[in-house]
Amino acid sequence: MYQNFKIVKVDSKYCDYLRTFDNKVPYNAGKKELRPFIGVLFMVEKFEYFAPLASPKPKHKTLKNTLDLLKIDNGVYGVVNFNNMLPVTSGNYQEFDLNKKTSNKEEMFRINLLTNQLRWLTSNKKDVLTKSKLLYNLYKNKKLPKTVEDRCCNFILLEEKCKEYNN
Protein backbone atom coordinates (compact mmCIF):
# COMPACT_ATOMS: atom_id res chain seq x y z
CA MET A 1 0.00 0.00 0.00
CA TYR A 2 2.76 2.47 0.94
CA GLN A 3 6.48 2.14 1.43
CA ASN A 4 7.10 4.37 4.43
CA PHE A 5 5.68 4.79 7.88
CA LYS A 6 3.28 7.65 8.55
CA ILE A 7 2.75 9.60 11.75
CA VAL A 8 -1.00 9.86 12.27
CA LYS A 9 -3.59 11.08 14.76
CA VAL A 10 -6.43 8.60 15.33
CA ASP A 11 -10.02 9.81 15.68
CA SER A 12 -11.14 9.73 19.33
CA LYS A 13 -14.71 8.65 18.39
CA TYR A 14 -13.30 5.60 16.62
CA CYS A 15 -11.21 4.71 19.69
CA ASP A 16 -14.25 5.20 21.94
CA TYR A 17 -16.21 2.79 19.71
CA LEU A 18 -13.46 0.14 19.84
CA ARG A 19 -13.17 0.54 23.62
CA THR A 20 -16.80 -0.62 24.00
CA PHE A 21 -15.51 -4.04 22.83
CA ASP A 22 -12.00 -4.02 24.32
CA ASN A 23 -11.11 -2.04 27.44
CA LYS A 24 -7.40 -2.16 26.54
CA VAL A 25 -7.93 0.35 23.72
CA PRO A 26 -6.15 3.47 25.00
CA TYR A 27 -7.97 6.71 25.74
CA ASN A 28 -7.24 9.71 23.56
CA ALA A 29 -9.85 12.23 24.64
CA GLY A 30 -10.37 14.46 27.64
CA LYS A 31 -7.03 15.69 28.96
CA LYS A 32 -5.26 13.85 26.17
CA GLU A 33 -7.16 15.99 23.64
CA LEU A 34 -4.43 18.56 24.21
CA ARG A 35 -1.87 15.90 23.37
CA PRO A 36 -3.06 14.11 20.23
CA PHE A 37 -3.12 10.32 20.11
CA ILE A 38 -0.25 9.98 17.69
CA GLY A 39 1.51 6.93 16.42
CA VAL A 40 3.08 5.13 13.55
CA LEU A 41 1.07 3.49 10.79
CA PHE A 42 2.05 0.29 8.97
CA MET A 43 0.57 -2.86 7.45
CA VAL A 44 -0.01 -6.15 9.29
CA GLU A 45 -1.53 -8.81 7.08
CA LYS A 46 -4.48 -7.12 5.31
CA PHE A 47 -4.93 -4.25 7.77
CA GLU A 48 -3.39 -0.88 8.35
CA TYR A 49 -2.31 -0.78 11.97
CA PHE A 50 -1.69 2.17 14.22
CA ALA A 51 0.78 1.75 17.11
CA PRO A 52 0.87 4.55 19.70
CA LEU A 53 4.11 6.39 20.35
CA ALA A 54 4.96 7.45 23.89
CA SER A 55 6.98 10.59 24.54
CA PRO A 56 10.33 10.01 26.24
CA LYS A 57 10.31 9.47 29.99
CA PRO A 58 13.27 8.64 32.26
CA LYS A 59 11.96 5.08 32.74
CA HIS A 60 12.20 4.40 28.97
CA LYS A 61 16.00 4.41 29.16
CA THR A 62 15.98 1.58 31.71
CA LEU A 63 13.19 -0.52 30.17
CA LYS A 64 14.08 -3.49 28.02
CA ASN A 65 12.72 -4.04 24.54
CA THR A 66 10.04 -6.71 24.84
CA LEU A 67 7.64 -8.52 22.51
CA ASP A 68 5.19 -5.62 22.78
CA LEU A 69 7.45 -2.60 23.35
CA LEU A 70 10.22 -1.08 21.27
CA LYS A 71 12.48 1.63 22.62
CA ILE A 72 13.09 4.38 20.07
CA ASP A 73 16.83 5.08 20.00
CA ASN A 74 17.33 3.31 23.34
CA GLY A 75 14.44 5.28 24.86
CA VAL A 76 15.86 8.70 23.97
CA TYR A 77 12.81 9.39 21.80
CA GLY A 78 10.29 7.31 23.75
CA VAL A 79 8.76 3.95 22.87
CA VAL A 80 6.32 2.25 20.51
CA ASN A 81 3.53 0.40 22.34
CA PHE A 82 2.75 -2.54 20.06
CA ASN A 83 0.41 -4.04 22.67
CA ASN A 84 -1.96 -1.14 21.93
CA MET A 85 -1.89 -1.50 18.12
CA LEU A 86 -5.24 -0.72 16.53
CA PRO A 87 -6.53 -1.66 13.09
CA VAL A 88 -7.57 1.47 11.16
CA THR A 89 -8.70 2.62 7.75
CA SER A 90 -7.91 5.96 6.14
CA GLY A 91 -11.21 7.30 7.51
CA ASN A 92 -10.08 6.73 11.10
CA TYR A 93 -7.00 8.94 11.14
CA GLN A 94 -5.38 12.10 9.86
CA GLU A 95 -1.77 12.28 8.83
CA PHE A 96 0.21 14.55 11.16
CA ASP A 97 1.88 17.46 9.35
CA LEU A 98 5.56 17.32 10.33
CA ASN A 99 6.32 20.30 8.06
CA LYS A 100 3.94 22.62 9.89
CA LYS A 101 5.47 25.99 10.73
CA THR A 102 4.77 27.27 14.24
CA SER A 103 6.15 29.73 16.75
CA ASN A 104 4.66 27.83 19.69
CA LYS A 105 7.61 26.26 21.54
CA GLU A 106 5.62 23.26 22.81
CA GLU A 107 4.32 22.50 19.33
CA MET A 108 7.83 22.91 17.81
CA PHE A 109 9.16 20.47 20.43
CA ARG A 110 6.42 17.96 19.54
CA ILE A 111 7.09 18.26 15.81
CA ASN A 112 10.84 17.81 16.36
CA LEU A 113 10.23 14.79 18.59
CA LEU A 114 7.86 13.19 16.06
CA THR A 115 10.34 13.88 13.25
CA ASN A 116 13.12 12.20 15.24
CA GLN A 117 10.86 9.28 16.12
CA LEU A 118 9.86 8.82 12.47
CA ARG A 119 13.46 9.09 11.29
CA TRP A 120 14.59 6.41 13.76
CA LEU A 121 11.62 4.13 13.01
CA THR A 122 12.21 4.45 9.27
CA SER A 123 15.90 3.62 9.62
CA ASN A 124 14.90 0.58 11.72
CA LYS A 125 11.90 -0.34 9.57
CA LYS A 126 12.70 -4.04 9.34
CA ASP A 127 12.85 -4.39 13.15
CA VAL A 128 9.61 -2.43 13.60
CA LEU A 129 7.71 -4.52 11.06
CA THR A 130 9.18 -7.80 12.31
CA LYS A 131 8.24 -7.01 15.91
CA SER A 132 4.69 -5.90 15.05
CA LYS A 133 4.02 -8.96 12.90
CA LEU A 134 5.56 -11.34 15.43
CA LEU A 135 3.38 -9.96 18.23
CA TYR A 136 0.31 -10.08 16.00
CA ASN A 137 0.94 -13.69 14.91
CA LEU A 138 1.76 -14.90 18.42
CA TYR A 139 -1.47 -13.26 19.66
CA LYS A 140 -3.53 -14.68 16.79
CA ASN A 141 -2.14 -18.18 17.35
CA LYS A 142 -2.51 -17.96 21.15
CA LYS A 143 1.23 -18.40 21.70
CA LEU A 144 1.95 -15.27 23.75
CA PRO A 145 3.05 -15.47 27.37
CA LYS A 146 0.01 -14.72 29.56
CA THR A 147 1.57 -11.52 30.96
CA VAL A 148 2.04 -10.10 27.45
CA GLU A 149 -1.35 -11.29 26.22
CA ASP A 150 -3.01 -9.54 29.17
CA ARG A 151 -1.51 -6.20 28.05
CA CYS A 152 -2.54 -6.54 24.40
CA CYS A 153 -5.61 -5.29 22.63
CA ASN A 154 -7.66 -8.05 21.04
CA PHE A 155 -6.35 -7.51 17.51
CA ILE A 156 -8.64 -10.07 15.88
CA LEU A 157 -11.84 -8.76 17.50
CA LEU A 158 -10.83 -5.16 16.73
CA GLU A 159 -10.32 -6.00 13.05
CA GLU A 160 -13.95 -7.15 12.89
CA LYS A 161 -15.12 -4.03 14.73
CA CYS A 162 -13.00 -1.87 12.41
CA LYS A 163 -14.81 -3.37 9.41
CA GLU A 164 -18.22 -2.81 11.05
CA TYR A 165 -17.44 0.77 12.04
CA ASN A 166 -16.24 1.69 8.58
CA ASN A 167 -19.13 0.08 6.63
pLDDT digits (tens, 9 = 90+) for 10-67: 898 999 999 999 999 987 655 544 345 677 777 888 889 989 999 999 999 999 999 9
The pLDDT score that the predictor gives to residue 29 is 56
SS3 at position 127: helix
- Which CATH code is given to the segment(s) 6-166? 3.10.129.130
**Across all residues in the chain, what is the average pLDDT?**
89
Question: Please, which residues have CB within 8 angstroms of residue 111's CB and are 6 or more apart in sequence?
Answer: 98, 100, 102
The pLDDT score that the predictor gives to residue 30 is 52
pLDDT digits (tens, 9 = 90+) for 141-161: 999 999 999 999 999 999 999
Query: What's the average model confidence in pLDDT over 105-114?
Result: 92
pTM of the complete model beyond 0.85: yes
Would you tell me how many other CB atoms lie within 10 Å of the CB of residue 65?
14
Identity of the residue numbered 156: I
pLDDT digits (tens, 9 = 90+) for 121-147: 999 999 999 999 999 999 999 999 999
